[in-house]
Structure 1
């Protein structure tokens, strides 16, 4: 964990001192701050018999220890069925370690009725069960969930810290690492992808320049189409290889050779897998589009900074000339309108609004300076 010394210290004390251990934890922090990494490290420390029990810790971190139950979702939401399965597992006594630990990544993806399934388990868990929920902020969960958990908020790492980590991990040039950390707004995973993928860096730059060039409805529609197409292709590239590997593994498990016809008895399993993959693809596309909007927010955030004379803290320094021209041409109220429109569009996408129509509307609003 980089730059999270206070949080690490708190969890180290809780893992070593039962009097400091809460039965439920809520780890919050911005994307890329290391919520999940810290959650699994905490789980490893709780389950291990002692600080030198490295074998157990490795099992937990690999996700293979029987006393760890983890829910990672690539879908749009966490289902009630998945939540009920977690609750059921939470009442099992530890089989090998000191505690049974339930880790829920992206706990903010639970709708209200799903969250309610967890309430009783969080309120009255078995003595040796610990829940660890991860979410961007406390506000993303129901008050009833928050009140039953001990909150631990992570801070955003510095750009320099992220750049140093990315450089050490990947061996990329320090300048590329710094630019990637800055463009990713300190999101470690995204920074690593930008640093190691020339295409991702190029697409980001092209998208921002295209948005800056929107001058009316015609170009807004054209640029919106390019944005959605690029996000769709990116999502397919990220999921296609995994989808194929999962299908191959399933067929191998049920004894179907490559190229052989799928027996009727196995088709239901294939259909269930394909359904899960479609849901994951939908989530991946939404996340990709949301990432574009995050980049757009950084663009107009820079414009506001320039309008208030703070040009030393820009995210997109490579576009300083274009952003300065925009800051001089627009009143600050128009820039703030653009930022509000981006936030509203991100919320609309969570309500299943058409991504293309939402993006077209956003770009028209930004280019005209007027709400629809």
Structure 2
């Protein structure tokens, strides 16, 4: 499989990235004069689940792909390769072959010249960004480019964004920055950074395209179609729903809430359930990761060792352990908020289905298996009330982004969703 096969439902973006990768190969081979489609900074935008980081990583693999290093690999000596044509059989399709060592190591996140910034906590700090920028300033050791992939550039702190801006303004000759963010809004990416990047705009893939991917992964056709619709174009979420019974159970519990909100007590119970479920999910993730990280750090700092100086070294490790605990706590908070956000997205899609049913729209619903609950809510709440409930869900998401206590934000939400 080519690395581009993982980029679902984005033919225009893939075509532009393939052309740029071909141009980059010409530059790396010292053959200037080709189309000027390559640049040093790229910004991938699109809604959640559109595949921003997947597209960025596929592009990183194409930039390092060993098949693109040798002109003889084009398979045709009769004429020049057209880098602007993503379907050109003379070489463009070879970029990102998915089979060479470079493509495999980029996919495994082990390539020495591809650096990933994936925030586990609430933000990306300046120290982490400075370290990454420093590594990226070196000459490539294995590939032809130093590539920095920042998967959630909207989480950069102001100081971290400034550190990145300096590198983007004056990049080393063989360094490429690939930034991923939900939108071009200044809250997601600063204007100064955005102005120095080439934009790759992605869209939510069609349900049919997502279903096809799931079927290729071994999911039966009916389950694939259901999961693609329920995942609302989010490939990762659709895959979890298709394969994880716990994910399906959590979704069902969330979607049963709107029809159950018949009293204030029911609203409070629903809020308690939502927050408790998110805390439990985050706790399970943290328990799985934290113990191993703490043990590894303690061993690295000398725990269990013997000999002169060990005792003082262990006593001096308290600061490192506190820093690890701080990162772990931030990661747990992020995991809880992500779990709550998935529930809020499902609730928003539920009320969207209510509006579709009220309007008699032929558009396929996101949650056809909850058609009875959708009809019941639609009979009790007018269209204006449904829109107010959608606004309340958006307000809750914004409140969580602004660090409002989850229980307070969710209780306010469920009260606003109460049936008349």
Give the TM-score taking structure 2 as reference length: 0.81
Give secondary structure in 1 for the equivalent of 2:123: coil
Runs of 4+ aligned residues of structure 1 deviating over 4 Å after TM superposition are none
The equivalent position to 2:244 in structure 1, one of 172, 197, 201, is 197
Question: Match of 1:125?
Answer: 171
Aligned-residue offset at 1:34: 1.8
Deviations 1:290-334 (A, max 9, x none): 111101100111111112211541111111122123223322111
1:109 aligns with 2:152: no
Cα separation, partners in 2 of 1:112 and 1:275, compared to 1, 3 Å: closer
The number of equivalent residue pairs is: 366
Asked if the contact 2:381/2:419 (under 8 Å) is kept, the reply is: no
Say yes or no: does 1:315 pair with 2:366. Answer: yes
Which residue, out of 5, 9, 13, partners 1:3?
9
Higher helix share: 1
Output the aligned Cα RMSD.
2.2
CA contact (8 A) 1:211 1:223 kept: no
Name the CA distance, whole Å, in 1 between partners of 2:246 and 2:386: 29
3-state DSSP of counterpart to 1:137: coil
Residues 112 and 141 of structure 2 are in contact (CA less than 8 Å); yes or no, is this contact kept in structure 1? yes
Say whether 1:351 aligns with 2:402. Answer: yes
Q: 2:254–2:346: 8 Å Cα contact kept in structure 1?
A: no
Contact 2:45/2:184 (<8 A) preserved: yes
Map of 2:49 onto structure 1: 32
Structure 1 pair 202–311 and aligned structure 2 pair: CA distance change class (3 A): farther
Gapped runs of 5+ residues in structure 2?
Answer: 1-6, 25-35, 71-99, 306-310
* C-alpha distance in structure 2 between counterparts of 1:312 and 1:241, whole Å: 41
Distance 1:153 1:113 in 2: 26
> Offset at 1:255?
5.1
**Deviation at residue 59 of structure 1 after TM alignment:** 2.4
Counterpart of 1:26 in 2: which secondary structure? strand
**1:287 CA drift (Å):** 0.4
Could you tell me whether the CA contact under 8 Å between 1:49 and 1:98 is conserved in 2? no
Which residue of 1 is the match for residue 40 of structure 2? 23
User: Contact 2:115–2:147 (CA<8 Å) still a contact in 1?
Assistant: yes
* Residue 271 (structure 1) aligned with residue 319 (structure 2): no
Structure 2 counterpart of 1:73, from 94, 105, 119 = 119
2:137 corresponds in structure 1 to: 91
Residue 254 of structure 1, CA deviation: 4.3
TM-score normalised by structure 1 residue count: 0.91
2:354 aligned partner: 303
Deviation sequence 1:28-76 (CA, Å, 0-9, x none): 1222222212212211222345427812222222222222221111110
Find the residue that maps to 2:140 and give its secondary structure.
Answer: coil
CA shift at 1:135, angstroms? Answer: 1.2
Between the aligned partners of 1:239 and 1:28, the Cα distance in structure 2 is: 29
